[in-house]
Amino acid sequence: MRRGGRDAVRAALVQARERTLGLARDYAAALGDAPAIPYAAQWNPPLWELGHVAWFQEWWIARNPQRGLGVDCDPDAPRRGSVLAHADRWYDSSRVVHRSRWELDLPDAPGTHDFLRRTLAATLSSLDELPEQPGDTALYFYRLVALHEQMHAEAATYMARGLGVPLAAAGDSQPMAPHRELLLEAQDFRLGADPQGFAFDNELGAHRVRVGPAWIDSQAVSWARFLPFVEAGGYEDASWWTEEGAQWLGRAGRRAPEGLRCAGGGWQHRGPAGWTPLQLGAAAVHLNAHEAQAWCRWAGRRLLTEAEWECAAHTLPGFSWGSVWEWTASTFTPYPGFVPHPYRDYSQPWFGSRHVLRGACAATSPALSHARYRNFFEPHRSDVFAGFRSSRA
């Protein structure tokens, strides 16, 4: 989709909306048409999420007089009104305080779905008016809104797990091949994306970096490799944890990863269907960066840098990814010459406070899955479908 033409982008927009509506049906089946959920810093009210997806699409497409300029668009260009009165007051995530979203007088489910329908129809109509080969600049915002919607769909799967909402497409991790190591040879590698096609602003600024040599895991660390750390009392021994990690562990008070327990002679994990046996051959998941770093210290290993990860993904046969997002050792920082794209809140506000994850998970859309994509979260987050891979220290 990053390099596809008008038809590929249209298909991506339609697929994203079908997924959004499918998730909405799952939530409605479990929680009702107007699901009320408890406040949590990592969640949004489900109806707000749906309205925001529609608002974001309309803001950057139908209401954007400079959408044809792509990244050269003025983000503050005056907009005409929304098809839904008060949409800006409800759904503008840059201005609507997160905590307040639980108290907003939002439209009901039929009104929200009507907003979704009308905004997508306007988007597809304007897309169809473009030339058959419109070019990357003209397609920029259409690609952006399709990927943005898939990001929110994936976030909805995280929230569904936390709420115990069964999903028609759960995206569970599957058993992996046996563990082995691969040699990443010492080399100069060009880190970052080319300007052709679509790229997020934080991926641009390609530059040469030196990586390797390093022996790295061919895939993410499995539960079979992670659990011995737990069983050896790793969550009770502060010597394995960074200072920040030890502080988090003290607040969390955990003795095992979130959602896991040892019962009946084996490990189990908690899902919408309750407690079920853990697949030891699957990638360890719902781990935060602190847990990944602690295991690496205990095992005498380390996390990969994002440069090593990207280099291996592009150059190393046998490097398997996509089971879980993978924490890296890298803090989320700009590449040289960083210039923010019109959606100013996407990258720049989070530099320095987030850690980089690479790869994808079973809940990631193929449209979003890309070897140069830089995901980023606060290091304490374990609701994300994230694990890690390691390298020899």
92 and 35 in a common domain: yes
> Mind listing the pLDDT tens digit for each residue in 290-310?
999 999 999 999 999 999 999
Polymer length in residues for the chain: 393
Average of per-residue pLDDT across 368-381:
98
Q: pLDDT value at position 271?
A: 81
104 and 192 in a common domain: no
Range of the domain at 135: 6-163
Which residue carries 């201005």 as its tokens? Answer: 95
388 and 265 in a common domain: yes
CB proximity list for 125: less than 8 A, separation 6 or greater = none
Please answer whether residues 119 and 146 qualify as being in contact, where contact means their C-beta atoms are separated by less than 8 angstroms.
Answer: no
Average of per-residue pLDDT across 7-12:
97
Q: pLDDT value at position 220?
A: 98
- Whether 118 is in a domain gets the answer yes
Distances (CA, A) of 250 to 37, 106, 232, 235, 368: 27, 38, 18, 10, 35
Q: What is the dihedral of CA 369, 205, 59, 99, to 10 degrees?
A: 80
141 and 193 in a common domain: no
Write the CATH number for 188.
3.90.1580.10
For the cut 90, the answer to whether the pLDDT of residue 1 exceeds it is no
185 and 48 in a common domain: no
Q: pLDDT value at position 150?
A: 98
Lowest-confidence pick of 17-26, 256-265, 383-392: 256-265
Q: pLDDT value at position 138?
A: 98
Please answer whether residues 376 and 185 qualify as being in contact, where contact means their C-beta atoms are separated by less than 8 angstroms.
Answer: no
Q: pLDDT value at position 172?
A: 65
Average of per-residue pLDDT across 124-151:
97
Average pLDDT, the chain: 96
88 and 46 in a common domain: yes
pLDDT tier, 171 (very low <50, low <70, confident <90, very high otherwise): low
Domain end, chosen from 102, 131, 163, is at 163
What CA–CA distance (Å, rounded) separates 58 from 122? 8
For residue 90, with 0-12 CB atoms within 10 Å meaning exposed, 13-18 middle and 19 or more buried, which class applies?
buried
Q: pLDDT value at position 357?
A: 98
Give the number of domains in the chain.
2
CB proximity list for 178: less than 8 A, separation 6 or greater = none
291 token code pair:
């847990």
185 and 155 in a common domain: no
Is beta strand 207-211 parallel, antiparallel or unpaired with respect to 187-191? antiparallel
358 and 266 in a common domain: yes
Domain end, chosen from 163, 198, 227, is at 163
- Whether 169 is in a domain gets the answer no
What CA–CA distance (Å, rounded) separates 222 from 230? 13
Q: pLDDT value at position 140?
A: 98
374 and 271 in a common domain: yes
For the cut 90, the answer to whether the pLDDT of residue 352 exceeds it is yes
What three-state secondary structure class fits 200? coil
Distances (CA, A) of 171 to 96, 149, 196, 257, 267: 31, 17, 31, 20, 20
Average of per-residue pLDDT across 279-288:
96
Q: pLDDT value at position 273?
A: 76
Average of per-residue pLDDT across 358-368:
97
Average of per-residue pLDDT across 131-143:
96
Q: Is the Cα dihedral 373, 376, 379, 385 positive or negative?
A: negative
CB proximity list for 372: less than 8 A, separation 6 or greater = 192, 193, 199, 203, 310
For the cut 80, the answer to whether the pLDDT of residue 272 exceeds it is no
- Whether 1 is in a domain gets the answer no
247 and 350 in a common domain: yes
- Look at residues 228, 209, 206 and name the one whose alpha carbon lies nearest to residue 335: 206
Q: pLDDT value at position 170?
A: 64
Lowest-confidence pick of 110-124, 256-270, 369-383: 256-270
- Whether 173 is in a domain gets the answer no
Q: pLDDT value at position 106?
A: 97
- Whether 168 is in a domain gets the answer no
For the cut 80, the answer to whether the pLDDT of residue 373 exceeds it is yes
- Whether 279 is in a domain gets the answer yes
Write the CATH number for 97.
1.20.120
- Whether 114 is in a domain gets the answer yes
Percentage, residues of the chain above pLDDT 90? 94
- Look at residues 290, 273, 291, 260 and name the one whose alpha carbon lies nearest to residue 161: 273
- Whether 200 is in a domain gets the answer yes
311 and 204 in a common domain: yes
> Mind listing the pLDDT tens digit for each residue in 65-78?
999 999 999 999 99
> Mind listing the pLDDT tens digit for each residue in 196-248?
999 999 999 999 999 999 999 999 999 999 999 999 999 999 999 999 999 99
147 and 223 in a common domain: no
What three-state secondary structure class fits 294? helix
